[in-house]
Amino acid sequence: MARKYSGARGKSRSTKPSKKMVPSWLQYKPKEIEMLIVKMAKEGANPSQIGLHLRDAYGIPDVQVTTGKKINQILKEKNLSKEIPEDLMALIRKAVLIRKHMGDNKGDMTAKRGLILTESKIKKLIKYYKSHGKLPMSWKYDPERIKLVVE
């Protein structure tokens, strides 16, 4: 399926196994995995970085299959989750960087289009997160105010 804004067709890559089973060779117990996740979160890692680190360094292929909970659920139980979800924060950082670039390069129309597309993605995500209760209904995206949060 094509991407919404770029026309690209995606990337060829390996897929996860269809059967969701705990591997027999896995040495870690669910409590140990939760402790590793909490430790990495306290060090400042994002949930996606935690998952990659667990996969690459510890050989834990899928946290959800092993523990029965997603990384975000574990962080929420331990009160370590962030106020703004990770994917929304990444888009906001991107918008801040594009705005900074446009301040230096006034005639860059490609950057202007990129900012429009990025901010439309931000607005769609905010609408989704508000409807699912992950953001408060009073939360607003203000580019000038949010710049202070990002920096």
* Residue in the structure block whose two tokens are 């996969």: 55
Q: What's the predicted TM-score (pTM) here?
A: 0.79
Which residue did the predictor score with more confidence, 128 or 16?
128
Distance (Å, rounded) from C-alpha 88 to C-alpha 93? 9
Place of tokens 């770029």: 6
Task: Decide: 9 and 2 in contact? Cβ < 8 Å.
Answer: yes
CATH number of the domain at 86-150, please? 1.10.287.10
- 133-145: pLDDT as tens digits: 999 999 999 988 8
For residue 115, how many other CB atoms are within 10 A of its CB? Answer: 19
Read off the pLDDT of residues 50-79 as tens digits, 9 standing for 90 and up. 999 999 999 998 999 999 999 999 999 999
For the chain, what is the mean pLDDT? 90
Is residue 150 within 8 Å of residue 96, measured between CB atoms?
yes
Given a cut of 60, whether residue 1 has pLDDT beyond it is: no
Residue 11's nearest CA partner among 23, 21, 3 is: 3
Closest CA to 85 of 15, 43, 141: 141
